[in-house]
Structure 1
């Protein structure tokens, strides 16, 4: 299979400017959290889906809404609840008595950006309604396939604290999210800025569209043409194999996870003005790309070992190539 031509300098310059424009726009809704916003925009530019997991009141929904609003296209919000049905997400075939035919009524998943709020509150059956569309960009209902708009992105939020009435996302679903990140509480100065702006009831509402769907697709095309050297690809392969053999890991990095890692690193490099990936790019995005893809065993919790500890061990065990390689 032929590789796309290397991105030109002017394309990378446009990508970097557009990337920063979106970051600045979305950052208005999330004060003091530029890195988190950068990761979210990187996910958008790489063609992936984003999972936001954090305690209540940190701005998960605001970030998701602001990112959706920054794209001039359609966006829908679905509040996931225990009684939500798969057809409430994907749509259903409804009988039209006048025409005496079944007509497909599209669900909220038919949008450019879909916010799945508190996704872990829905039943596993409803959660699985997103599996096909997140992987293939289409929905199959009653044997008929319906394509969703392009570009398409799912931004899901979940609360790790409240476990009553929630259903943990299965590994197959987690693996379909390109990145998982947390926002965290703002620092003292950012908190004061937020408190001083209480007149603005909803900062996400102030975010306007700064990019359209065609530009998102162009960003993804430019990102795909960023170069990744063979030594870096070999490093990722070694990292995945080591993750599968780790003493505390029951489920290591999958091939889908490695592909996502490469796509994300390309978008991250382009966002920083380069048409090639450097080792630091892989380090910068390691945690959001890897943390939700590795399942630890019971002994890990007993020993006080976390996924972040395992990621540090893996990077210590597998040497990164030098920038000149």
Structure 2
């Protein structure tokens, strides 16, 4: 199969996935695209949004669409690391310990209000995200593949929360907000309450093998040296800016390139453009910054995108 035929086939698979998700989710095309960018680039997504805007529906619909296992964790201050990773329990019939898997043994994991969990529990989850495995009592077990985490934070309520430190925010490929629907979208949602497909009845439209092939093709999207230099210039500009206390790490630079490849791939191209970098950079860079003096990270990234020269 030629490269153009492979690209055409991959575009058809992506369109099939988008259409399937639209059967349960009204509007939110931009949010769906960003979540797919995170998944195809091999990363994870952080959703910073208020309750009731469809975060669980999005995660569950994605899991159903790829025929994967969905799990949800509701984070609370009393949640223990073993509550998410699993633990060994004594079986009196066999006279031995047996491993009881935690909810991280899933293909799509929704970690709701991650900042309500204690730092110790947050660290356990983020370790699984990075290492793709769980170690309990000295025994390591791989989590299923694909493994994709969507974590959420409520940007309004901060009482009783444990904000993620910068090193842990860096583990998320991108951050986004679903936001409230438009009036037309909300009306359409109400009109479709009786006609829409329940998420539990959503049929898979993509196999694990097809998803793996898409990820491999996404990683093969061409990023020319000049564009890599542009990515590097953006990242390094965050480290020398007077309005930023802590800039983007090298991990962030790699995440920006991978996300740029995925963004271009979702447009049906096997090469990336500066416009792809500009479109995805606010979502990849902003949550990795520590602004100085109460400034807004989004505004800083927007300013850098205006001032850093485009190749």
Q: Give TM-score, length-normalised by structure 1.
A: 0.90
The equivalent position to 1:55 in structure 2, one of 50, 57, 60, is 50
**Per-residue deviation at 1:228?**
0.3
Gaps of 5+ in 2: none
Between the aligned partners of 1:137 and 1:233, the Cα distance in structure 2 is: 28
Q: Is the 8 A contact 1:19 1:41 kept in 2?
A: no
**Per-residue deviation at 1:27?**
2.4
RMSD: 1.7
Partner of 1:314: 304
**Per-residue deviation at 1:256?**
1.1
Partner of 1:132: 127
Between the aligned partners of 2:96 and 2:198, the Cα distance in structure 1 is: 45
Between the aligned partners of 2:167 and 2:205, the Cα distance in structure 1 is: 33
Number of equivalences: 310
Partner of 1:169: 164
Q: Is the 8 A contact 2:23 2:196 kept in 1?
A: no
Gaps of 5+ in 1: 1-6
Partner of 1:38: 33
Between the aligned partners of 1:263 and 1:244, the Cα distance in structure 2 is: 20
Q: Is the 8 A contact 1:61 1:157 kept in 2?
A: no
Name the stretch that deviates more: 130-139 or 164-173. Answer: 164-173
**Per-residue deviation at 1:57?**
2.0
Partner of 1:101: 96
Between the aligned partners of 1:29 and 1:162, the Cα distance in structure 2 is: 28
Residues 184-227 of structure 1: CA deviation (Å, up to 9, x unaligned): 11112111111222336885345332112221111111111111
Residues 256-315 of structure 1: CA deviation (Å, up to 9, x unaligned): 111111111111111111111011111111111112111112x1x2xxx31111111211
Q: Is the 8 A contact 1:36 1:183 kept in 2?
A: yes
1:74-85 to 2 correspondences below 5 Å: 74-85=69-80
Between the aligned partners of 1:152 and 1:198, the Cα distance in structure 2 is: 31
Between the aligned partners of 2:170 and 2:196, the Cα distance in structure 1 is: 35
Partner of 2:224: 229
